[in-house]
Amino acid sequence: MNGLQRAALALTIIGAVNWGLIALFQFDLVAAIFGGGEQSAAFARIIYGLVGISGLVLIPLLFKTDEAFSKQREPHRADS
C-alpha cells in the first residue's frame, strides 16, 4: 500500500467513524469541530469532500487478490 492509499484509508476511517456517530447519536463530529461560522462550514465541506475522494482512491483495493497483497514485499530492514 502506498502513501496515498494509506492517507486515503485514514480519511475513510475518519469518515466511517463520523457516520457511525451520526447514526448512533445524531452527532456529526466534523460539523461540530469545523461547522461554526461560514469559513468553518466551508472547511467542513472540504473534509467531507476529501473523505469522498478517499473512498474513490481505495476502490482498486477491492479488486486486488490476496495473491497481489502477498506478493507485495515489505521494505527490508537492516539489523542494527
Contacts of 31 (CB under 8 A, 6+ apart): 41, 44
Q: How many CA atoms lie within 13 Å of 48's alpha carbon, on the beta-carbon side?
A: 15
**Percent of the residues in the chain that have a pLDDT greater than 90, as a whole number:** 45
pLDDT digit string (tens) for 48-64? 999 999 999 999 988 88
Radius of gyration of the chain (CA): 17
φ, ψ dihedrals at 25, nearest 5°: -125, 5
If you average pLDDT over residues 30-45, what whole number do you get?
A: 79
- pLDDT higher than 60, residue 80: no
b/e code 20-31 from CB counts within 10 Å (16+ = b): eeeeeeeebbbb
